[in-house]
Chain A
Amino acid sequence: MKRSGISTMLVVCLVMVAAICPQVFAKSKAEPAAMKLKVGDVAPDFKLQHFDGSDLKDVSLSQYRGKSNVVVAFYIFAFTGG
């Protein structure tokens, strides 16, 4: 009798672990890494090069101060969609 009680408990435990595991894994996979810069933070200034077809030009974020909005759109690689 005692034996069957233990094995029943074992089965119950295994079922619980099996039920929880996929959720834990799914959660850690779906959650993207947190952003270092948050809404409300000052966007760090930068100076980067832009080739306009004849010259390499420096472009900085601060040169657009005074504009109502600046969109800085980072993309993974040239020649990709989006």
Chain B
Amino acid sequence: MKAFQANLKQLEAADTQVLGVSMDSPFANKAFADQVGVTFPLLSDWGGDVTRQYGIYLDKYKAARRVNFLIGKDGKILEEQIDKDAIDPKKIVDACERKKVSR
């Protein structure tokens, strides 16, 4: 989440809303946000309903897989990054900025 925060200005300039989601409690996520300085909302999927709906629930950890979804104006998924590839948000930042240019 720190990596998204570091790119937040660029993302916001490209009219992008960032949302973090995990299966932690809202209070744990608030403490996490404070610790790493995240200013965008970290949402709690307590119980994992949304994580399962998105098909990324990990039985082994009883938690969500690390996945980024980039969603466009029409609500459709434009890009997905999974596991290790989801740590660096550069691809998403680039995609958002490309769209800004082509608009």
> Which residues of A are at the interface with B, using a C-beta cutoff of 8 A?
32, 35-44, 46, 48-53, 56, 59, 61, 64-79, 81-82
Contacts and interface: CB of A to CB of B under 8 A. Distances in A.
Contact of A59 (B19, B71, B77, B103): B19
Interface size class for chain B? 35 or more
10 contacts: A35-B55, A44-B50, A66-B73, A69-B11, A69-B73, A72-B21, A73-B69, A73-B89, A81-B2, A82-B86
Contact of A43 (B31, B58, B76, B92): B76
B26 A79 contact: no
Contacts of B61: 76-77
A59 B42 CA distance: 10
B14 A68 contact: yes
Contacts of B4: 71, 73
Interface residues of B: mostly helix, strand, loop or mixed?
A: mixed
Interface residues of A: mostly helix, strand, loop or mixed?
A: loop
Contacts of A74: 20-22, 51, 54, 56, 64-69
Given A56-B26, A73-B19, A79 B3 contact: no
Nearest to B45: A48
Contact of B21 (A36, A38, A48, A64): A48
Given A67-B73, A78-B32, 4 more contacts: A43-B71, A67-B16, A68-B99, A69-B78
